[in-house]
A and B are shown apart, each in its own frame.
Chain A
């Protein structure tokens, strides 16, 4: 199984451990990731916030580069994923936007490349049953909630890969890893996204609610599938000391991969106590 890989800016910086665990876990699961050569930033929140068309063109360039590779794209970042899909949809719908992109890039847009979230790829292409078979170290002591955030499943009219209000894919993957997956109602609530720097107070309030609700559910950590959610949850939790891991790190631990500690060391909130407990559990 081969995918074009769009890491996005975060996976080379603030979400480094997500990038490293993604590469390692995909390799272990038989998913070959070929990084899009010379990819550019999708514009994140800033692109569509200030210039909607610019965001479409920036993502459009990446779509064309993947098209050249002849592969569907796997994207670990929910914000990048949303931007690429949004661009794809708008390019398909508008001759003007397509023409603009084709003029700049001197390539023809076929619209045949599919953009998929990494969670979708692992869940649907590898599957829970296969993962269950591959698990070497079931994480029995790990009580976790799955946090999807806003942009993995939304908006609904763009045929997503999981339920909009009650997604299950990550819950099922965590269950396959042996975790005790707790129920909570905040799976798709917002983390504050791009307001983290310019309006940190809002983000602190949103994140504090998420952490409190996760605690109340009995979970000892939150599992995410987005570098922006993860960074906000760690940076803006106001000293709550509540670990926030990537689902790829959990998969890596369950698969018994040796690099896991290196990923976990990069977290801003220590995971030592959590991991210690798991070994006993």
Chain B
């Protein structure tokens, strides 16, 4: 048993899962719940029970899209999407991901922002294809968007590159 996980999560997120009533309002309204291996309310209970390994290895923390439906409806106003952010950060720090493609996608997205200040979609899609191995997915779609001028060859670059770099450095 990994003692102290509940405390670690509470300290990092300032969310108190002990307030959870297990009323299931979050899970009932969650658009992604049917694909998650553990439902949002179960994640709360697993945190309480010190189930660190299971929580960090769940698909749930990666599949949550942060749509805010659960926190909007939760009678105890537990900010589950924020809790998921926190759990993902802990998982990344421990090099764990049940959904590697989602992790790669987010990482490449942020690399693009770090490099240019704004995201360069075409480069992001290309790199993602290489890294995920999904080389031929959405070829036609990509071409269509390119032809319509929706994917630009060159990135837009923020002038204050130093400022952007500073931000990335400070929060790491």
Residue on B nearest A43 in the bound complex, by CB: B113
B158 at the interface (CB under 8 A from A): yes
Residue-wise interface mask of B (109-138) relative to A, using a CB-CB cutoff of 8 A (1 in contact, 0 not)? 110010001110100010010001000011
B42 at the interface (CB under 8 A from A): no
- Assess whether B65 is in contact with A190, with CB atoms less than 8 Å apart: yes
Interface residues of A in 39-86 (CB under 8 A from B): 39-41, 43-54, 57-58, 61, 82
A220 at the interface (CB under 8 A from B): no
- Assess whether B82 is in contact with A9, with CB atoms less than 8 Å apart: no
With A49-B66, A154-B72 as known contacts, state yes or no: A268 contacts B110, CB within 8 Å: no
For the complex formed, measure the closest distance between the CB of B27 and the CB atoms of chain A, giving whole angstroms. Answer: 14
Q: How far is the CA of A200 from the CA of B106 in the complex (A)?
A: 15
**Inside 8 A of B72's CB, which chain A residues have their CB?**
154-156, 164
A105 at the interface (CB under 8 A from B): yes
With A14-B150, A14-B151, A58-B113 as known contacts, state yes or no: A9 contacts B118, CB within 8 Å: yes
With A47-B110, A189-B31, A190-B31 as known contacts, state yes or no: A195 contacts B102, CB within 8 Å: yes
Residue-wise interface mask of B (65-78) relative to A, using a CB-CB cutoff of 8 A (1 in contact, 0 not)? 11111011000010
Which of A61, A154, A194, A266 is B65 in contact with, Cβ under 8 Å? A194
With A38-B158, A41-B117, A193-B65 as known contacts, state yes or no: A50 contacts B167, CB within 8 Å: no
- Assess whether B77 is in contact with A40, with CB atoms less than 8 Å apart: no
Which of A16, A46, A51, A197 is B150 in contact with, Cβ under 8 Å? A16
**Which of B2-10, B47-55, B83-91 is near enough to bind chain A?**
B83-91
Q: How far is the CA of A190 from the CA of B70 in the complex (A)?
A: 12
Q: How far is the CA of A61 from the CA of B109 in the complex (A)?
A: 18
With A41-B119, A198-B102 as known contacts, state yes or no: A12 contacts B128, CB within 8 Å: no
Interface range, B side: 35 or more
The winner among A52, A151, A157 for most chain B CB atoms within 10 A is: A52
- Assess whether B65 is in contact with A48, with CB atoms less than 8 Å apart: no
Which of B35, B88, B144, B150 is A49 in contact with, Cβ under 8 Å? B88
For the complex formed, measure the closest distance between the CB of A32 and the CB atoms of chain B, giving whole angstroms. Answer: 23
For the complex formed, measure the closest distance between the CB of B52 and the CB atoms of chain A, giving whole angstroms. Answer: 19
Residue on A nearest B74 in the bound complex, by CB: A155
- Assess whether B171 is in contact with A57, with CB atoms less than 8 Å apart: yes
B94 at the interface (CB under 8 A from A): no
Interface residues of B in 125-172 (CB under 8 A from A): 125, 128, 132, 137-138, 141, 144-145, 148-152, 156, 158-160, 163-164, 166-168, 170-172
**Inside 8 A of A39's CB, which chain B residues have their CB?**
158
Residue-wise interface mask of A (1-39) relative to B, using a CB-CB cutoff of 8 A (1 in contact, 0 not)? 000000001001111100000000000000000000011
B22 at the interface (CB under 8 A from A): no
- Assess whether A14 is in contact with B121, with CB atoms less than 8 Å apart: yes
The 8 A-B residue pairs with the shortest CB-CB distance in the complex, in nearest-first order: A46-B109, A190-B31, A154-B68, A150-B67, A46-B106, A193-B65, A198-B101, A198-B102
Can you list 21 pairs linking A and B with CB atoms under 8 Å apart?
Answer: A9-B118, A38-B159, A38-B160, A40-B118, A40-B158, A44-B119, A46-B105, A46-B106, A46-B109, A50-B103, A51-B110, A52-B82, A100-B170, A104-B163, A154-B68, A155-B72, A190-B65, A194-B65, A195-B65, A195-B102, A197-B125
